[in-house]
Amino acid sequence: MGFITYDVNRYTPKQMMVIPLIVLILSLAVLGYNMATTGTLLTPGMDFSGGTAVTLFTADSPDMLRETFSGYPLISVDGGINDGKYLKFGPMDDASFQSLAELITERYPDAKIDQIGASFGKTLQGQASIALLLSFIGMAIVVFVAFRALVPAGAVVFCALTDIIMTAAVMTLVGIELSLPTTAALLMLIGYSVDSDILLTMRVLKRQGRLSEKLSGAFRTGIIMTTTTLAAIAAMWVVAAVGQITVIRDIASVLIIGLLLDMMNTWLMNAGIIKWYMQKGGAK
């Protein structure tokens, strides 16, 4: 692809790894700051903190909607194209929710309503954290078993971890909340992330030939892999953003962020580590 001019062989391992490491430190700082100020690494969305989300199509302006729902803990009104509106309410008791549901059904019969109780949200969040942790550990075990070499396997796992940390940091910065869909996206990211890392490691470790050739070959393949995936997800993002399908839009946003960061981590960090490893004579 003509527009990518980066040459994996031009820089020393140290030079390659500097940029991702700086970004990693910045990301940790962002997450640390968030942890210190809000008490959570990532801002939990409605799925986890509890609340009510309403999707409806109406020509009424956000102010009119705020007026209509003034008796309820309305947090935000997001508008989209074709009159789609996305309303978020904070937690409320059962009686208020019942009356809210009746009000919505009466005024906007074609509204989608989702309500999560605060304690249920907490349980969901606990489960989601466990799922992320178990997935990550499972992935790490597979990688170590597959390569049976500490440095290359460690590099792949480290790269996946940095992908997640950096993506989480960017999510915090641009205000994407942690919800069930974005948890799914982070899990998908584990899969996508190791894809190109495994390709790189396999090519370098198992193929014959000069290191520089293997690296640039892997880079060519790896970049096309990530760009095709990015193209598919960007297309999805556009459709979902225009069509106000928040679940898919959120998943796509996280994946786009994650894949862009993954390109950097794979071809600077992981490639740097594996290059250093090979130059040290790590391959038998």
Partner 1 sequence: MTGKEWVALLKNWQVAMLVILLVLSVVFIYPHGEDGKFTTNLQYGLDLSDGTWLQMEFQAVVAGFETDRPVVDFLSDLQKDLDAEIYRIDDQKIEIRKYFTRDELESAFAESGGRLTTYEQGVSRETAEQVKVILEEKLNALGTRDAKVNPLIGLSGVSTYVRVELAGVGLAQAQEIVGKQGRFEIRIQTAGNETEHVLYGDAINTVGVPTQEPPGSNRWGVSFTLTEQGAVQFRDAAILYGATTDPARHYLNMILDGNVVYSAPLSPDLAAKLRVEPIRELVASTGAGQEGLDAAKNLEIHLRAGALPVEVKVAGSGYVPAALSDYFKTMAIVAFVVATIAVGIVVFLRYREPSIVLPMIGVNLSEIVILLGVASLIQQQLDLAAIAGLIAVLGTGIDQLVIITDEVLHEGKVPSPNIYQKRLTRAIGIIMISAVTVIIAMLPLALMSLSTLRGFAIITILGVVIGVLVTRPAYGKIIMAILSK
Ranges within 240-259 binding partner 1 (CB under 8 A): 240, 243, 245, 247-248, 251
* Near partner 1 in 2-21, by CB under 8 A: none
Nearer to partner 1, 38 or 127 (CB): 127
Nearer to partner 1, 206 or 280 (CB): 206
Report the alpha-carbon distance of residue 154 to residue 279 in Å, rounded. Answer: 17
Read off the tokens for 234: 């960007």
**What size, in residues, is the chain?**
284
Nearer to partner 1, 19 or 113 (CB): 113
CB 54 within 8 A of CB 87: yes
Nearer to partner 1, 17 or 257 (CB): 257
CB of 232 to partner 1, least distance (A): 4
* Backbone dihedral angles phi then psi of residue 191, each to the nearest 5 degrees: -65, -50
CB 246 within 8 A of CB 220: no
Among 19, 103, 211, 236, binds partner 1 (CB under 8 A): 236
CB of 108 to partner 1, least distance (A): 9
Read off the tokens for 261: 């960061």
Q: Which helix (H) or strand (E) holds 271?
A: helix 271-279
* Near partner 1 in 155-194, by CB under 8 A: 180-181, 183-185, 187-188, 190-192, 194
DSSP line for 4-57: ----TTSS-HHHHHHHHHHHHHHHHHHHHHHHHHHSSSS-B-HHHH-EEEEEEE
Read off the tokens for 101: 């549901």
CB of 177 to partner 1, least distance (A): 16
* Near partner 1 in 56-95, by CB under 8 A: 57, 94
Among 15, 78, 110, 173, binds partner 1 (CB under 8 A): 110
* Near partner 1 in 119-148, by CB under 8 A: 119-121, 123-124, 127-128, 130-131, 134-136, 138-139, 141-143, 146
Nearer to partner 1, 40 or 227 (CB): 227
Read off the tokens for 130: 């466990």
Number of residues that bind partner 1 (CB under 8 A): 76
Read off the tokens for 164: 């997640």
Nearer to partner 1, 31 or 185 (CB): 185
**Residue 217: CA count within 13 A, CB half-sphere:** 13
Say which DSSP state 136 is in: H
